[in-house]
Amino acid sequence: MQALPNLLWLRSFEAASRLRSFTAAGNELGLTQAAISTHISALESQLGHQLLERTTRKIELTASGRAYLPAVRKALQELAVSTEGLFGNRTAGSVTIRAPISECVLLIAPALPAFRDMYPDIEIRLLSAIWADTVLETGIDIEIRLGDGNWPGVRAEPLGTEFIVPVCHPNLVKSLKKPSDLSDFDRIHTLGFDDHWSRYCDAIGLKTRPETSKITVDTSLAAVELAAAQSGVALLLERVAMNLVAAGRLAVPFEEKIPSVQTHYLLHRDTDQSQSPAARTVETWLRGLFAGSDQR
C-alpha cells in the first residue's frame, strides 16, 4: 500500500484546484505562492502522476487530478467535521465546560439562554460526565466536579455549600404528611451518594433500615425521572431540586434537609496558563449560578 501523502500537500492541492490559483491558495492557507507550488510538485512526485496543468495565466486539473480531487476533498471535509465534533471550534470566543451530567441538564443548560442573551459572542460547548475523572483533561476550559475537593494535580475552588432534600411527585405530597410516612414509599437510591438515605433517616429519626430502597440508579438525572413518574422518593441536592420544584415537576414534602458531605468545585490545573477573557466571563457566571445568584 502506498504511503499517505503529507496532509499539507493535500490541502495545497485542494485549495489550488478549487481557486485555480497558487497565489489565492497561498493566501487562504497562509502560505506563499512558491510554497503551494512546491507542495503540489512534491505530491505529484510521490503519486507519480501530474495533477495540475500550469500555464502563465491559470492552472487546470489533469485527468488524474480530476479523478483524485473528490477523494481528497471528502477526506479533508470528514477530518474537519470530526475535529469540530470532538474538540469544537477553539476560537478566542469558544469555551468548553464539563460538569456532572445531572448538573449539565438540570442546572446549567436551563440557564444558558439567559447567558447567551448577555454574551452572544461567546460560544459554549457543554460536555457531561457521569463519574469524576482522576485527571483534568486537556481541551476542557472549565471543569466542575462534585466531590470532596481532593483530586491530584488540580486546585479545587468550592462553589458553595450543598444540602440534601427529599423529592417526589407533587401528587404524593398529601400522602407524606410526616417523615415517618417515608416508610410507605420506595426509596430511590443514587450510586455515588451511598450515605444519603442513612444520614437523612438518622436526621429525621426514621429507624427503618436504608436497605429497604427498591430502586438504584447511577445518576441524579435518572432519579429525577423516576420520582417524576411517581415511582418513589429520591434525595437530591437542594439547588438541583429547586429548579424542578419551580417547574412543577417535583415537590419537596418536608422542610428537613441535611448538609451534603460533597460539594461542587471549580477545578484549576496546577500548571494553568492565563485564561481567555471568554473563559473568565463564563467562570464568573458559573460562580454566580452555583451560589444561587439570580442569573438564570
Q: What is the mean pLDDT of residues 254-259?
A: 88
Query: Is residue 155 assigned to a domain?
Result: yes
User: 274 and 143, same structural domain?
Assistant: yes
Distance in angstroms (rounded) separating the CA atoms of residues 88 and 91: 9
User: Nearest-CA neighbor of 93 among 125, 122, 118, 126?
Assistant: 122
From 40, 63, 86, the end of a domain falls on: 86
The confidence score (pLDDT) of residue 40 equals 94
The confidence score (pLDDT) of residue 88 equals 58
User: 284 and 235, same structural domain?
Assistant: no
The confidence score (pLDDT) of residue 81 equals 72
At residue 187, φ and ψ (nearest 5 deg) are -100, 125
Query: Is residue 296 assigned to a domain?
Result: no
With cut-offs at 50, 70 and 90, classify the pLDDT of residue 94.
confident
**The three grid cell numbers given for residue 207, joined into one nine-digit string:** 429507624
User: 34 and 71, same structural domain?
Assistant: yes
- Among 35-44, 118-127, 150-159, whose mean pLDDT is lowest? 150-159
Query: Is residue 1 assigned to a domain?
Result: no
- List Cβ neighbours of 155 (8 Å cut-off, separation of 6 or more): 267, 268, 269, 270
The pLDDT tens digits of the residues spanning 55-71 come to 777 789 999 999 999 99
DSSP-derived pairing of the beta strands 263-269 and 154-158: antiparallel
Query: Is residue 2 assigned to a domain?
Result: no
The pLDDT tens digits of the residues spanning 118-144 come to 999 899 989 887 665 544 555 788 999
**The three grid cell numbers given for residue 110, joined into one nine-digit string:** 436551563
DSSP-derived pairing of the beta strands 94-100 and 142-147: parallel
The pLDDT tens digits of the residues spanning 274-287 come to 678 898 899 999 99
User: 247 and 101, same structural domain?
Assistant: no
DSSP H helical ranges for the chain: 7-19, 22-29, 33-47, 63-87, 101-103, 109-118, 196-204, 220-228, 238-246, 277-291
**The three grid cell numbers given for residue 145, joined into one nine-digit string:** 466536579
Number of folded domains that form the chain = 3
User: 272 and 152, same structural domain?
Assistant: yes
The confidence score (pLDDT) of residue 130 equals 64
Distance in angstroms (rounded) separating the CA atoms of residues 285 and 107: 13
User: 255 and 272, same structural domain?
Assistant: no
Distance in angstroms (rounded) separating the CA atoms of residues 253 and 206: 15
From 40, 62, 86, the end of a domain falls on: 86
Query: Is residue 151 assigned to a domain?
Result: yes
Distance in angstroms (rounded) separating the CA atoms of residues 39 and 116: 43
User: 102 and 56, same structural domain?
Assistant: no
**The three grid cell numbers given for residue 45, joined into one nine-digit string:** 512526485
CATH number for position 122:
3.40.190.10
User: 125 and 49, same structural domain?
Assistant: no
Tell me what percent of the residues of the chain surpass a pLDDT of 90. 44
Q: What is the mean pLDDT of residues 253-272?
A: 83
The confidence score (pLDDT) of residue 214 equals 75
From 33, 60, 86, the end of a domain falls on: 86
**The three grid cell numbers given for residue 163, joined into one nine-digit string:** 444540602
Three-state SS for 123? strand
CA 261 → CA 19, 36, 147, 159, 222, distances in Å? 61, 60, 8, 14, 21
The confidence score (pLDDT) of residue 270 equals 59
The pLDDT tens digits of the residues spanning 205-232 come to 877 554 555 789 988 899 999 999 999 9
User: 201 and 65, same structural domain?
Assistant: no
Domain that holds residue 20: 7-86
Query: Is residue 197 assigned to a domain?
Result: yes
User: Nearest-CA neighbor of 291 among 158, 172, 184?
Assistant: 158
User: 240 and 174, same structural domain?
Assistant: yes
The confidence score (pLDDT) of residue 134 equals 45
Higher pLDDT, 129 or 146: 146
User: 269 and 154, same structural domain?
Assistant: yes
Three-state SS for 111? helix
* Res. 293: pLDDT tops 80: no
* Res. 179: pLDDT tops 50: yes
CATH number for position 68:
1.10.10.10
Query: Is residue 25 assigned to a domain?
Result: yes
User: 277 and 155, same structural domain?
Assistant: yes
Distance in angstroms (rounded) separating the CA atoms of residues 205 and 199: 10
**The three grid cell numbers given for residue 174, joined into one nine-digit string:** 398529601
